[in-house]
A and B are shown apart, each in its own frame.
Chain A
């Protein structure tokens, strides 16, 4: 299992150049049953990352481009009258795919956003009293433009909470950029990727991740972090219990990827920025900067 994960990361890193940490976090989020939010300016490779992961995992992939006039039915599907059989028939929308890329989610109106986010949370869609389960595994990568850009409806905290992680990609460094400019078309490269982790194996890994041991000493550390965010003046809103659970889940996946069967504080620290950055509204949009005081001040025993 671990070898497959390593190979997958290696292949992804050949497509997404110079971003091994973000790639690893994205996979970690997937292994922890979570949805991923990528926030960055257009053109830094958000879509490519989503596409690459979908290809490597062999998942059905669908992109939904969010615009200001998109309707919930455009996302989840609608019942259409079938003239031949004289009945309404449900036409599933693009959300009925294993991997959904919700591109520029903050361009859509809150109504459309909430339709998407509800599907994400429930992992099922209910239309006209009938419930349709979404496929398994179900994984949403949403991208979001920085909220200072024109024509955006920022996601409220409650909805940001639905994402296990938020990562920023950022510009590639000098060498990666050069390699990118010299290399082949990313899209073609993406298409040629083989499946590294079939979905059955992925589900097995997701199950194994939940089995990772969490010791009392680690829980102490986890709780110390939560307590710190609630008491520190740096944050006007501390981490919720759900955030605490998310932190632990992500840390478990991270420690599993590091081939360990027990979570250690370093795992928490590794995922802390991605998991809590978007939950702690602290002025800065840079997750790393937001959690820096936590890392420095909460003691590891």
Chain B
């Protein structure tokens, strides 16, 4: 270890490396992160306890451990995760053998790669800002290494200036550089990460987990008018089979019969956030299906594959529809019951004329039953272990959408009316800043669908009967009740809401213009400028970058001449401070001669005068001039008291 390697440089370098690897904690296995953390802290302690640093055999063992760890995790080096982890482990190991300046450079470049690898996982605006910040810190490290006795702040300042100067070129390259579709192999062997979301089965109570989650699920931007809240049902999995407790989808598929639609069409763009499932939550009822999507017989949309990225779909839905008749198989599954219903339930159905009147009447009576009897809507219902439906209907009577939907469907089936549970989202908050709807996990909902003879499948939402505000209000009541923010008119809350909406708009635009800027939209965008072939594009790229460089050059040179003036003005301030002692600098007197003259008059200040003069001469006539010198001249002159 060379003694010249400054402690400060190492601290600086290690801090920036730490900052870079930190966000990867979400993406890489704990073992790899722990291994890196171990090496990192070892090196950090090594700054002060040099003797504790590993020697060659120990480093060798560490390398073997790293390879073993990597092999154990991935059995190879291909794919995003393996590659990223390889870099992180290599970075950690390289930290162990910092001997010369060259190693410092190598580590810094390594760190840049690791910083870039963040974008393979997350491309949000916040992460971009963070990576930019990190680039500044890394550049500051380079500045720090290169200028012998740098100060942290001025190094960071220089780095920020460099980064800001680089941004226009980065932007030009982003817009103009030909885009290549990322090859599939880069996304190989990603572990499926669990995300919160609807599941493909339902037990009353399971959705309460989502009730409070503020996480965004998807956004919808309508081409024209936005449907009223009572029509905003975003269709998800349809649950048909029940064992009495649990409701699940059935694998049974039949050819989809297109619904007959009337009324107005809603055309909209649906921007799905990354999610665990390949479900697409379209507005009830979707008709125009873009090619990669498929529609199930229960009218649920799904993508070919689940996506780790945000994806946008163009859809058209109609809120007035008629799905037409059903066949026997469908009838059977939609009236399926786990066992013979209990007498109590039969009695209830009979009491509401379920067996002896038209289905319409029964539905209305049942909804009215929920309304007038002592039923309550709550997000925190008591647990029902046995016979959930019966206990809910007759005992607890506290529940939320899935309780009501499952009880409703059960009772319908008892009355031999085909019915099923539909899960999805309901409502959504209008982002006034961006004029789009934001649908969050808190908007998760379950409702019922009943098949009526001449209407087909008809949506009935028993929750609307018991808690109409849940449906009618555009923002989720659940969220309010859960967090106790009942008074939506509190100014602070409104302010927060506005801030959130504004952020939502920024994020939405980031997604639309930056993340979704693929080769197709690039081609569209560029052709609007008349750039249609690669040759023109190359000319444009060269021209744009050359002009940016020219502007930067002009700015830098202009700035440099200004900084020379700053040197003189600082020195003149020093001379002015001496004027009161009668020490006026003659026209033809050099700084050194003047200093000698001043020193004979002010012998007590000899050290200060010498220092100021030396720094000034270095700045004015010296070979290598750094920004720090100017700072120190300014500081010295400020401190100088004649």
**Chain A interface (Cβ within 8 Å of chain B)?**
213, 215-218, 261-266, 269, 294-301
Which A residues touch B587, using CB under 8 A? Answer: 296-300
- CB of B576 within 8 A of chain A? no
Which A residues touch B529, using CB under 8 A? Answer: none
Which A residues touch B620, using CB under 8 A? Answer: 215, 217
Nearest Cβ on chain A to B403's Cβ, whole angstroms: 83
Which B residues touch A269, using CB under 8 A? Answer: 588, 590, 593
A-contacting residues, B578-593, CB 8 Å: 586-593
Which A residues touch B589, using CB under 8 A? Answer: 300
A-B contact pairs, 29 of them (CB 8 A): A213-B622, A215-B621, A215-B622, A217-B621, A218-B621, A261-B622, A261-B623, A262-B618, A262-B621, A263-B621, A264-B590, A264-B592, A264-B621, A265-B590, A265-B591, A265-B621, A266-B590, A266-B592, A269-B588, A269-B590, A295-B588, A296-B586, A297-B588, A298-B587, A299-B587, A299-B588, A300-B588, A300-B590, A300-B591
Complex-state Cα separation, A184 to B66, whole angstroms: 81
- CB of B22 within 8 A of chain A? no
Which A residues touch B593, using CB under 8 A? Answer: 266, 269
* Top 7 closest pairs, chain A to chain B, by CB: A213-B623, A265-B590, A266-B590, A299-B587, A215-B621, A262-B621, A295-B588
- CB of B550 within 8 A of chain A? no
Complex-state Cα separation, A103 to B42, whole angstroms: 76
Would you give the 0/1 interface string for B545-568, flagging 1 where the beta carbon is closer than 8 Å to chain A? 000000000000000000010001
Which B residues touch A301, using CB under 8 A? Answer: 568
Nearest Cβ on chain B to A222's Cβ, whole angstroms: 12
Complex-state Cα separation, A296 to B620, whole angstroms: 21
Q: Pick the most buried of B588, B589, B590: most chain A CB atoms within 10 A of its CB.
A: B588
Which A residues touch B531, using CB under 8 A? Answer: none
- CB of B602 within 8 A of chain A? no
A-contacting residues, B224-255, CB 8 Å: none
Would you give the 0/1 interface string for B579-618, flagging 1 where the beta carbon is closer than 8 Å to chain A? 0000000111111110000000000000000000000011
Q: Pick the most buried of B568, B617, B618: most chain A CB atoms within 10 A of its CB.
A: B617
Which B residues touch A265, using CB under 8 A? Answer: 590-591, 621
Complex-state Cα separation, A295 to B593, whole angstroms: 12
Complex-state Cα separation, A218 to B617, whole angstroms: 11
Which B residues touch A266, using CB under 8 A? Answer: 590, 592-593
Known A213-B623, A264-B591, A266-B593; 5 more pairs at CB < 8 Å: A215-B623, A261-B623, A263-B621, A264-B617, A297-B588
Nearest Cβ on chain A to B353's Cβ, whole angstroms: 102
Interface residues of B, CB < 8 Å — how many? 16
User: What number of A-B contacts does a CB cutoff of 8 Å give?
Assistant: 51
Nearest Cβ on chain B to A89's Cβ, whole angstroms: 51
Which B residues touch A299, using CB under 8 A? Answer: 587-588
Which A residues touch B590, using CB under 8 A? Answer: 264-266, 269, 300
Complex-state Cα separation, A266 to B622, whole angstroms: 14
Complex-state Cα separation, A301 to B589, whole angstroms: 9
Nearest Cβ on chain A to B578's Cβ, whole angstroms: 16
Complex-state Cα separation, A217 to B589, whole angstroms: 14
Using CB atoms, name the residue of chain A closest to B567.
Answer: A217
**Given A217-B564, A301-B568; A262-B588 close (CB under 8 Å):** no
Nearest Cβ on chain A to B592's Cβ, whole angstroms: 5
Which B residues touch A261, using CB under 8 A? Answer: 622-623
Which A residues touch B617, using CB under 8 A? Answer: 262, 264
Complex-state Cα separation, A298 to B586, whole angstroms: 10
Which B residues touch A262, using CB under 8 A? Answer: 617-618, 621-623
Complex-state Cα separation, A264 to B594, whole angstroms: 13
Complex-state Cα separation, A215 to B617, whole angstroms: 10
Which B residues touch A263, using CB under 8 A? Answer: 621
Using CB atoms, name the residue of chain A closest to B586.
Answer: A296
Nearest Cβ on chain A to B284's Cβ, whole angstroms: 75
Complex-state Cα separation, A115 to B51, whole angstroms: 73
Q: Is the CB of B588 within 8 A of A296?
A: yes
Complex-state Cα separation, A294 to B587, whole angstroms: 10
Which B residues touch A297, using CB under 8 A? Answer: 587-588
Nearest Cβ on chain B to A38's Cβ, whole angstroms: 27
Complex-state Cα separation, A190 to B495, whole angstroms: 95
Using CB atoms, name the residue of chain B closest to A268.
Answer: B590
Nearest Cβ on chain A to B72's Cβ, whole angstroms: 57
Which A residues touch B592, using CB under 8 A? Answer: 264, 266
Using CB atoms, name the residue of chain A closest to B596.
Answer: A266
Which B residues touch A294, using CB under 8 A? Answer: 588
Which A residues touch B618, using CB under 8 A? Answer: 262
Using CB atoms, name the residue of chain B closest to A265.
Answer: B590
Which B residues touch A296, using CB under 8 A? Answer: 586-588
Which A residues touch B622, using CB under 8 A? Answer: 213, 215, 261-262
Nearest Cβ on chain A to B594's Cβ, whole angstroms: 9
Nearest Cβ on chain A to B472's Cβ, whole angstroms: 76
Complex-state Cα separation, A301 to B591, whole angstroms: 9
Q: Pick the most buried of A213, A261, A265, A295: most chain B CB atoms within 10 A of its CB.
A: A265
Nearest Cβ on chain B to A105's Cβ, whole angstroms: 33
Using CB atoms, name the residue of chain B closest to A295.
Answer: B588
Complex-state Cα separation, A218 to B590, whole angstroms: 11
Nearest Cβ on chain B to A54's Cβ, whole angstroms: 32
Using CB atoms, name the residue of chain B closest to A218.
Answer: B621
Nearest Cβ on chain A to B319's Cβ, whole angstroms: 76
Which A residues touch B586, using CB under 8 A? Answer: 296
A-contacting residues, B605-642, CB 8 Å: 617-618, 620-623
Nearest Cβ on chain B to A293's Cβ, whole angstroms: 10
Complex-state Cα separation, A213 to B623, whole angstroms: 6
Which A residues touch B623, using CB under 8 A? Answer: 213, 215, 261-262
Nearest Cβ on chain A to B293's Cβ, whole angstroms: 68
Q: Pick the most buried of A215, A218, A297: most chain B CB atoms within 10 A of its CB.
A: A215
Complex-state Cα separation, A218 to B591, whole angstroms: 12
Using CB atoms, name the residue of chain A closest to B593.
Answer: A266
Complex-state Cα separation, A301 to B587, whole angstroms: 8
Using CB atoms, name the residue of chain B closest to A216.
Answer: B564
Using CB atoms, name the residue of chain A closest to B561.
Answer: A216
Which A residues touch B588, using CB under 8 A? Answer: 269, 294-300
Nearest Cβ on chain A to B562's Cβ, whole angstroms: 14
Which B residues touch A215, using CB under 8 A? Answer: 620-623
Nearest Cβ on chain B to A122's Cβ, whole angstroms: 33
Nearest Cβ on chain A to B286's Cβ, whole angstroms: 72
Complex-state Cα separation, A261 to B625, whole angstroms: 13
Complex-state Cα separation, A265 to B586, whole angstroms: 13
Complex-state Cα separation, A294 to B593, whole angstroms: 16
Using CB atoms, name the residue of chain A closest to B564.
Answer: A217
Q: Pick the most buried of A218, A264, A295: most chain B CB atoms within 10 A of its CB.
A: A264
Nearest Cβ on chain B to A296's Cβ, whole angstroms: 5
Q: Pick the most buried of B568, B591, B622: most chain A CB atoms within 10 A of its CB.
A: B622
Q: Pick the most buried of B564, B586, B618, B620: most chain A CB atoms within 10 A of its CB.
A: B620
Which A residues touch B568, using CB under 8 A? Answer: 301
Nearest Cβ on chain A to B523's Cβ, whole angstroms: 49
Nearest Cβ on chain A to B470's Cβ, whole angstroms: 76
Q: Pick the most buried of B589, B620, B621: most chain A CB atoms within 10 A of its CB.
A: B621
Complex-state Cα separation, A74 to B413, whole angstroms: 136
Complex-state Cα separation, A216 to B568, whole angstroms: 13
Using CB atoms, name the residue of chain A closest to B572.
Answer: A301
Nearest Cβ on chain A to B11's Cβ, whole angstroms: 32
Which B residues touch A217, using CB under 8 A? Answer: 564, 620-621
Using CB atoms, name the residue of chain A closest to B587.
Answer: A299
Complex-state Cα separation, A294 to B588, whole angstroms: 8
Complex-state Cα separation, A262 to B619, whole angstroms: 11
Nearest Cβ on chain A to B620's Cβ, whole angstroms: 5
Complex-state Cα separation, A263 to B622, whole angstroms: 8
Using CB atoms, name the residue of chain A closest to B625.
Answer: A215
Complex-state Cα separation, A301 to B569, whole angstroms: 10
Using CB atoms, name the residue of chain A closest to B618.
Answer: A262
Would you give the 0/1 interface string for B166-186, flagging 1 where the beta carbon is closer than 8 Å to chain A? 000000000000000000000
Complex-state Cα separation, A215 to B593, whole angstroms: 19
Complex-state Cα separation, A300 to B590, whole angstroms: 6
